[in-house]
Amino acid sequence: MGNMITVTVNGKEHSGGVEGRTLLVDYLREHLGLTGTHIGCDTSSCGACTIHMDGKAVKSCTVLAVQADGSEVTTVEGLANNGSLHPIQEGFKEEHGLQCGFCTPGMMMTATDLLKNNPNPTEDEIRHALEGNFCRCTGYHNIVKSIQYAAKKMQSPA
Amino acid sequence: MTNYIGKSVKRVEDKRFITGQGKYTDDIKLNGMMYGYFVRSPYAHAIVKSINIDRASKMPGVNKILVGADIPEAIAGVPCGWQVDFKNGDTMKEPPHPLLVRKKVRHVGDGVAFVVAETRAQAKDAADEVDVDYEILDAVTCPKKATEEGAAQVHEDAPGNLCFDWELGNPKDEVAAAMAAAAHVTELDFSNQRVVPNAIEPRSAIGHYDTAYDKYTLYTSTQNPHLIRLLMCAFVLGIPEHKVRVIGPDVGGGFGSKIFHYAEEALVTWASKELGCPIKWTADRSESFLTDAHGRDHVSNAKMGFDSEGKIVALQAYTYANLGAYLSTFAPAVPTYLHGTLMQGLYTTPKINVDVKAAFTHTCAVDAYRGAGRPEATYLLERLIDLAALEMDMDPAELRFKNFIPAFDGVEQEGYTTQVALQYDSGNYDPVLKRALEMVGYEEFRKEQAAQSNGKLLGIGFSTYIEACGIAPSAVVGALGARAGLFEVAQVRVQPTGKVSVFTGAHSHGQGHETTFAQIVADRMGIGIDDVEIIHGDSDSVAFGMGTYGSRSLAVGGSAIVNSIDKVLEKGAKIAAHLLEASADDLEYAEGKWTVKGTDKSVSFGDVSLTAYVPHNYPEGLEPGLDFNAFYDPANFTYPFGAHVAIVEVDKETGEVKLKRFIAVDDVGNVINPMIVDGQIHGGLAQGIGQAMHEGTVYDETGQLINGSYMDYCMPRADDLPSFEIDRTVTPCPHNPLGVKGAGEAGCIGSTPAVVNAVIDALWKGGFKVKDVPMPMTPERVWTAMNN
Amino acid sequence: MIPNSFEYKRANSVEEAISLMTEDAQVLGGGHSLIPALKLRLNNPGTLIDISKIDALKTIGDNEKSVTVGGGATHAAIANDAALAKHVPMMGQAAREIGDIQVRNVGTIGGSIAHADPAADWPAVLLASNASVVISNKDGKREVDIDQFFLGFYDTALEEGEIITAIRIPKTAANQHSCYVKFKQPASRFAIVGCAAALDLEGGTVKDARVALTGAADSAYRVKSVEKALIGNSFNLDLIHSAVGDVTEGKSIMSDHYASEKYRAHLASVYVKRALKKLL
Amino acid sequence: MIVEGTHTFHVSAEQLWNYLMDPEVLAKITPGVSQLELVGEDQYKTVSKIKIGPVKGAFTGKLHVIDKDQPHSFAIQMEQLSKIGNAHARVDMAIKTIDAQNASLEFNGKANLSGLIARTGQRVLSGVANVIIKEVFSSLEEHIEEQNIT
């Protein structure tokens, strides 16, 4: 456990030792018990492990935990604010954007990155933005609608 | 009264999933838990000459390394749950499928050793240091080649690699005679390629032996915990069932691949006692590619004969089905009773014969994958009829209308008896295709197609399908070789406060049972949906169950719930009658209360519930409590059907196919939650389209799976698919109380041939009269078809 | 998906990174080529030298005649950079074709070209852009012309102990037109073939041309035959058709289960044509 | 995976044969081979390190020279094992005299990959094989030139 790191996850600071080879996703799941971030592959393809690091969507299976030292990390567990769902969470529920729920956290984290940079995406832009995330249940149809729902919600005054 | 049924109630399970609180097997951590990692064969066929674990055993954190010889003889291999016999009556060949190989590996990924260590990383590090000396042997991967003389043999006791041969329908000579008299015969040689289910959650299992209670708990990513318990206890480990609890917690998709009992489950369960600690194993994705049962993999030749009017007069199908290296739980049923029996399709074909040879090969086991046999049957029929339309220069929709079985509701009119052993429950086939044509704007499309001139070829493809689901009547499947009953179980437990806990043997891994079932319960009992809780996935909580597959949850599991509710209400009425001082026959139940007919005297469900548990003023001789079990065994399969239409554009320069539109009109009987049903259809479509356009294993001649990763095996992504245009008709199932048929597999069954037919249509209209482009229709294959 | 053990060292400057280099060490940039290989244990270095925190490597500088892109600039930073959008628009356009959102947020241009995957996008784009690669080593800096940088299969002019610090890209003149088009392997989304084309046009005549292909052969290369046939002629559809012949001549063309040698070669010529047609 | 090709050397067929049968030469020209140890007649144990692109691994293996027909033809049977996968190959070699000072080596063989490298790296691996073959011949050429000079 040769490397001491300090990472702020969902607003809470965590310090501890990790092996150099520990992937960020394993750090989140095994060290911090944040199992909402999932592992679906070993080739950085499926996107189930997507989180935000310093405000950007990244695949936490392709970042070493030591690289997150000093970073701000947001996982699916940190999306809701004081118990009220994030619009993207609401969108997935309202538009039936999930079935088994396994890819959902990664999908939502990618979608929020998209909406941050492109608040009003077209259907094509949404589909293109999801190219790093696999879903095997929904055929993506309702995921697209969920993201459209969130985009609309985030743009309308609360 | 329906407050909920038929409405798109938002899913109650979503909250935990969208907040990251779902609990999948790999999320579970037990005290003192160790981690297992498998050493797997890199070869498809080899003799294990020696295994040296000396170096590996000394690696940090290693607790134990198990090899085949460590497993007691008393522990049997993984069993098969379905027996199909040879045509001559001989029993199918059923070679052993050990938990860990002792002498011979038979596919890449066969388990050779199991390393248990304190961390997953340590287990993997040590697994890398296990030295196995192999003598490599020749391998065979194609089911047809496997049965040829001189092919490498998978099992000593299955000569010619034949597991069984099988036949169904009219005698071959009768079919041949009808075919000979046909005005036109369309013949096609084709493959229904092997695909990998690829649930995004990799399989995972935790075995935990508790010395205090002398009891095992297995957490596993399964579609049917009770069946796993039954198979593992009775056939593998020989442990009594009451000493084993199997929990299938949240499961990240199954699509068939998590129905089966796998060696890893039995191994972690047994080893947890041997090693004295809980053991978790979770597959890497590349491991999943090698060990999760694959789907499809048929090599077929089929002929369809037509008279001069375009009426189908005969069908002859020959199929070689690949079973892989070992028999998976339901493998023998897939190419036979889930495939051959569907050869009638929606058509009045009078003479049908289907002939199947099932072969072992040096590949991963093949079993049910979304649709299981029915997609293969539909593909065969729908490719033939669309091709026939092109060959005979007839309209493919018109040709289908001409051959559809006339409407029957299964009540006034009898069910339709096929040439291939089934009786369809109810059907009305014209409307689905008519509606699909309307949605397409068919005439307009044909004009647009004829006018296309931009280097692209437009094509349209049809598929009208029927499937048999709601699996299944126990007596029927028993006669066909199933070694289990396929009923379902439900328990409705009314709490003293009138809240309702429902225990179901069906298992949700994305289908939304916690919502759909609650809708049924709430409506039938006239209570709020928030007052209902659905519990599933735990063999200690739920009396029994057969799990979820074959689009059976609602038709079978839902019906069991209805029957339990009926029992609850029947007893409730007795209590209510006592409280109301009336006869039970004079009561009617609605909106959560019993009312004496024609009066305003009533008692609420809540009061009756409380009385059942506080029986101070209570009917004499009646047991207290309000808690009923029901076992529901369906009278027949259910038969959803539909019409799917694909519109594609083929790039003449590159062969790239763009799926421009996809229209699906399905009839799944009555619908409880339209939102969820639509979602099931969407998902099925994506998988069916995936098979047509993107997916398929590539084995090399030595049996290596050379596209065993997401970098190489192509699954559809969001930008590969259009938004789907879907609609439905409703033809209720006449034989179950909900009138439902099942929607889980429909999308996957109908879509594949529609897409392939669309590409073939595009090519014909562009002047390339090819009969087939092998799936997946990669750009190179389509380009080759145009440039040969 | 657990790498073998290694020692992790974070470098705070390029000099420090170079001083840490040993034979058994690997440089970790964005990590999107390296970490997948580590996870599969295809690659097992003793030490990883993390240069991803060196801010100096991330800057994109607008100079007089060129834009200098730090080796540690992510694909996303390149896609969103105003100076590049103005002066070398093909860079941003190509950056958006790479991987997916998550990959673009972390993967770096320096890491990508040091890795020199024969199917990567940057090599073709940089070849067509007439870029140069600024390399640091223990003796200081050197600059390598892009035409001399990609040597072969995963092979570059980068020597042991060297780090790519920047890529210098000449600003395009007002009369230059460029684009990058790509035929993706649908699973990996790497290029089966990708073509970058940059043309200087004067009064409708091609003054200069740089056309490069990636994905087809064991490394990206310029299609000199096409460039030659274009230069000096008036640019129109006929010229494109006559100029684009066998664009893979003399090259050993890659082949896999998704695209055979023959099909890849065919696609290469289709995509050279498509790139040029986009510039009409 | 098929490997095939022809390479011309500026030596006689007999000289080329002798070079190819010299373990020291073989060790020197095979990329990454750090050790070639004679373990029996025409049988060698090899230790090699491959470092190409994303693939870096240590392989131990066996090399067996078989079917010798001096100076016309022979075959090499190879087995390379590693933690990331294994390679088994047989390559047939034919030496043809062009003239007194020139001979060609025609090789034709097949390599079977197994394990992780077979599943995840087809695109990369066939490239690796080409690189290795290229390096073998350029090293052999270099070696021959060195010998001819000295």
- CATH number at B735 reads 3.30.365.10
Q: Which CATH class is domain C176-278?
A: alpha beta
Give the separation between CA B64 and CA B114, rounded to whole angstroms.
8
Residues of C in contact with A2 (CB under 8 A): 7-8
Comparing CA positions, the residue from B725, B784, B788, B727 lying closest to residue B759 is B784
What is the average per-residue pLDDT within D23-38?
73
Does position B783 have pLDDT exceeding 90, yes or no? Answer: yes
Partners of residue C44 in chain D, C-beta under 8 Å: 56-57
Q: Over 80: is that where the pLDDT of D122 sits?
A: no
- Judged by a CB distance cut-off of 8 A, whether residue B448 touches chain C is no
Q: Within this chain, do residues B600 and B690 fall inside the same structural domain, yes or no? A: no
Computed over every residue of chain D, the mean pLDDT equals 81
B221 touches chain A (CB under 8 A): no
Structure tokens at A36: 């909402």
- Tell me whether residues B286 and D119 touch, CB distance under 8 A: yes
CA distance D120 to chain B (A): 6
Residue C70's pLDDT is 98
Can you tell me the distance from the alpha carbon of B572 to that of B569, in angstroms, rounded to the nearest whole number? 5
Would strands C47-50 and C25-28 be described as parallel, antiparallel, or unpaired? parallel
Q: How far apart, in Å, do the first and last CA atoms of chain C sit?
A: 47
Determine the residue of chain B that is closest to D113 in CA distance.
Answer: B704
CB burial string A77-116: b at 16+ within 10 A, e below = bbbbeeeebbbbbbbbbbbbbbbbbbbbbbbbbbbbbbbe
CATH of A3-78, one of 1.10.357.10, 3.40.50.2300, 3.10.20.30, 3.40.50.300: 3.10.20.30
| Complex ipTM value | 0.96
Q: Is residue B688 within 8 Å of B748, Cβ to Cβ? A: yes
> Of the candidates B10, B255, B723, which has its C-beta nearest A123's C-beta?
B723
Q: What's the rounded mean pLDDT across residues B533-541? A: 96
Checking if the pLDDT of B626 tops 60, the result is yes
Asked if the Cβ–Cβ distance from C2 to B120 is below 8 Å, we say yes
B329 to A52, B76, B451, B552: CA distances (angstroms): 42, 14, 52, 17
Domain boundaries, chain C: 7-50, 55-170, 176-278
Chain A residues touching B195 at Cβ < 8 A: none
CA distance B467 to A130: 33
CB within 8 Å of chain A, chain C residues 28-47: 28, 31-32, 35-36, 38-40
CA-nearest residue to B703 within chain D is D114
**What is the rounded CA–CA span in Å between residue C255 and residue D28?**
30
Which of B773, C271, C223 is closest to C263 using CA atoms? C271
Report the amino acid identity of residue A28. Answer: L
- What pLDDT does D150 receive? 47
Cβ of C153 under 8 Å from any chain D Cβ?
yes
**pLDDT tier, B217 (very low <50, low <70, confident <90, very high otherwise):** very high
Task: Judge whether B246 and B539 are in contact, CB under 8 Å.
Answer: yes
Q: Which residues of D touch B705 (CB under 8 A)?
A: 118-119
Please report the pLDDT score of residue C124 as a whole number: 98
Q: Which residues of B touch C260 (CB under 8 A)?
A: 780
- Per-position b or e across B591-623, b if 16+ CB within 10 A of its CB: ebbbbbeeeeebbbbbbbbbbbeeeeebbeeee
Of the partner residues B43, B286, B707, the one whose CB lies closest to the CB of residue D116: B286
CA distance to B471, B512, B549, B732, B740, per residue, from B671 (Å): 18, 13, 18, 9, 7
Task: Indicate the residue of D83, D86, D120 with minimum beta-carbon distance to B708.
Answer: D120
What is d(CA B613, CA B499) in angstroms, rounded to the nearest whole number? Answer: 13
Tokens of B92: 């199918």
Q: Which of B585, B601, B632 is the last residue of a domain?
A: B632
Q: Do A66 and C50 touch (CB under 8 A)?
A: yes
Query: CB of B304 within 8 A of CB of B386?
Result: no
Query: Out of C1, C257, C263, whose CB is closest to B783?
Result: C263
CB burial string B462-479: b at 16+ within 10 A, e below? bbbbbbbbbbbbbebbee
Q: Give CA–CA dist B456/B344, Å, rounded.
A: 36
Instruction: State the average pLDDT over residues B720-741.
Output: 97
Is C240 in contact with C273 (CB distance < 8 Å)?
yes
Average pLDDT over residues B546-566: 94
Phi-psi region of B501 (alpha: psi -120 to 50; beta: other; left: phi over 0): beta
Q: In chain A, what is the straight-line distance between the N-terminal and C-terminal CA atoms, in Å?
A: 46
Strands (E), chain A: 3-9, 12-18, 50-53, 56-59, 72-74
Tokens of B180: 């000979």
Q: Confidence band (pLDDT; 50, 70, 90) for D82?
A: confident
Contacts with D122 from chain B: Cβ below 8 Å: 706-707, 712
The minimal CB distance from C267 to the residues B654, B698, B720 is found for B654
Does any CB of chain B come closer than 8 Å to the CB of residue A7? Answer: no
Do B682 and B688 contact (CB within 8 A), yes or no? no
Give me the residue from D83, D86, D120 closest to B286, CB to CB: D120
Question: Which residue in chain B is spatially nearest to C261 when comparing CA positions?
Answer: B780
User: For residue A48, what is the DSSP state?
Assistant: T
Mean pLDDT of B648-666: 98
DSSP annotation string for B254-323? -TTTTTS--HHHHHHHHHHHHHTS-EEEE--HHHHHHHS-BEEEEEEEEEEEE-TTS-EEEEEEEEEEEE
Q: What is the pLDDT of residue A157?
A: 65
Q: How many domains does chain D have?
A: 1
Check residue B235 and report its DSSP letter: I
State the Cα–Cα distance between residues B711 and A44, nearest whole angstrom: 9
> Does the beta-carbon distance from B24 to A36 stay under 8 Å?
no
Taking CA atoms, C93 is separated from C75, C179, C218, in Å, by 10, 8, 24
Sole residue written with tokens 């994905």: C215
Pair B627, B640 in one domain: no
**Contact state of D56 with C119 under an 8 Å Cβ cutoff:** no
Residues 767-786 of B with CB under 8 A from A: none
How much is the average pLDDT of A65-92? Answer: 96
Q: Which of B128, B136, B705 faces D119 most closely, judged by CB atoms?
A: B705
C257–B286: do the CB atoms touch at under 8 Å? no
Q: Which tokens sit at D28? A: 């020197």
- Domain hosting D28: range is 2-149
The class that CATH gives domain C55-170 is alpha beta
Closest residue of chain C to D132, computed from CA coordinates: C153
What's the mean pLDDT in B24-41? Answer: 98
What is the per-residue pLDDT across B570-597, written as a single tens digit (0 to 9) for each? Answer: 999 999 999 999 999 999 999 999 999 9
Q: Does B118 touch chain C (CB under 8 A)?
A: no
- pLDDT exceeds 70 at position D31: no
Type of residue numbered B688: G
Q: Round to whole Å and give the CA distance between C98 and C103.
A: 8
Q: How many residues does chain C have?
A: 280
CA B30 from chain centre, in angstroms, equals: 31
Pairing of strands B725-728, B657-667: parallel
**Distance, CA of B597 to CA of D78 (rounded, Å):** 90
Q: Which amino acid is at B497?
A: T
pLDDT tens, chain C, 280 aa long: 899 999 999 999 999 999 999 988 999 999 998 999 899 888 889 999 999 999 999 999 999 999 999 999 999 999 999 999 999 999 999 999 999 999 999 999 999 999 999 999 999 999 999 999 999 999 999 999 999 999 988 899 999 899 999 999 999 988 899 999 999 999 999 999 999 999 999 999 999 999 999 999 989 999 999 999 999 999 999 999 999 999 999 998 988 889 999 999 999 999 999 999 999 9
Mark which residues 701-740 of B lie under 8 Å from C by CB.
706-707, 710-715, 720
Pick the CATH number of C7-50 from 3.40.50.300, 3.30.43.10, 3.30.420.40, 2.60.40.1930: 3.30.43.10
* Residue A21 to residue C105, Cβ atoms within 8 A: no
Asked if residue B192 belongs to a domain, the reply is no
B63 within 8 A of B149, measured Cβ to Cβ: no
Sheet holding D102-114, edge to edge: D2-9, D102-114, D86-99, D73-81, D55-69, D43-52, D33-40
| Minimum-distance CB partner of C100 among A39, A67, A131 | A131
Domain closes at, from B602, B632, B662: B632
Per CB-CB distance under 8 Å, the chain B contacts of C187 are: 694, 707, 710-715
Per-chain mean pLDDT for chain B: 97
Encode pLDDT of A130-149 as tens digits. Answer: 999 999 999 999 999 999 99
B-chain CB neighbours of C44 within 8 Å are: none
Q: What helix, strand, coil percent values describe chain B, rounded to 5?
A: 30, 25, 45
The residue of chain C nearest to residue B776, with distances taken between CA atoms, is C258
The domain locations on chain A are 3-78, 87-155
Distance from CA of B656 to the nearest CA of D (A): 21
B292 in contact with chain C, both atoms CB, cutoff 8 A: no
Strand partners, C211: C197
Residue % of chain B over a pLDDT of 90 = 98
The CA distance from B722 to B647, in Å, is 11
For chain A, the residue count is 158
Task: Please tell me the number of Cα atoms within 13 Å of C28 on its side-chain side.
Answer: 31
In CATH terms, the fold of domain A87-155 is: DNA polymerase; domain 1 (1.10.150)
In Å, how far is B276's CA from the nearest CA of chain A? Answer: 22
- Give me the residue from C40, C183, C257 closest to B706, CB to CB: C257
pLDDT for B314-340, tens place per residue? 999 999 999 999 999 999 999 999 999
Closest listed residue to residue B376, CA positions, set B162, B143, B149: B143
Whether residue B446 sits in one domain with residue B423? yes
- Window from B471-485, B544-558, B669-683, D53-67 with minimum mean pLDDT: D53-67
d(CA B189, CA B191): 7
Contact B706 D119 (CB under 8 A): yes
How far apart are the C-alpha atoms of A103 and A99, rounded to whole Å? 9
Same domain, B532 and B594: yes
Which of B632, B661, B680 is a domain's end point?
Answer: B632
Residue of C nearest to A66 (CA): C8
Q: Which domain holds residue B557?
A: 474-632
Neighbours of B150 (CB within 10 A): 8
Q: How confident is the model at residue D123 (pLDDT cuts 50, 70, 90)?
A: low
Helix (H) or strand (E) holding D37: strand D33-40
Q: For B432-460, how does the pLDDT look when each residue is reduced to its tens digit (9 = 90+)?
A: 999 999 999 999 999 999 998 888 999 99
- C-alpha D63/C-alpha D29 separation (Å) is 14
Q: Is the pLDDT of residue B1 over 60?
A: no
Give the burial class of A124: count Cβ atoms within 10 A of its Cβ; 0-12 exposed, 13-18 middle, 19 or more buried. exposed
| Cβ within 8 Å, pair B42-D114 | yes
**pLDDT for residue B751 is more than 50:** yes
Q: What is the mean pLDDT of residues A100-120?
A: 97
Chains in contact with C, where contact means 3 or more Cβ–Cβ distances below 8 Å, are: A, B, D
Whether residues B606 and B688 fall in one domain: no
pLDDT higher than 90, residue D20: no
**Nearest alpha carbon to residue A79 among A47, A46, A52:** A52
What part of B 725-764 touches A (C-beta under 8 Å)?
747
Whether B201 sits inside 8 A of A38 (CB atoms) is yes
Q: Write down the pLDDT at residue D139.
A: 77
CA dihedral of residues B424, B427, B430, B431 (deg, nearest 10): -150
Q: Establish if B775 belongs to a structural domain.
A: yes
* Residue of A19, A102, A124 lying closest to B253 (CB–CB): A102
Chains with ≥3 CB–CB distances under 8 Å to A: B, C
Q: Using CA atoms, how far apart are residues B123 and C121, in angstroms rounded to an integer?
A: 38
Count of the separate structural domains present in chain B: 2
Contact status of C60 with chain A (Cβ, < 8 Å): no
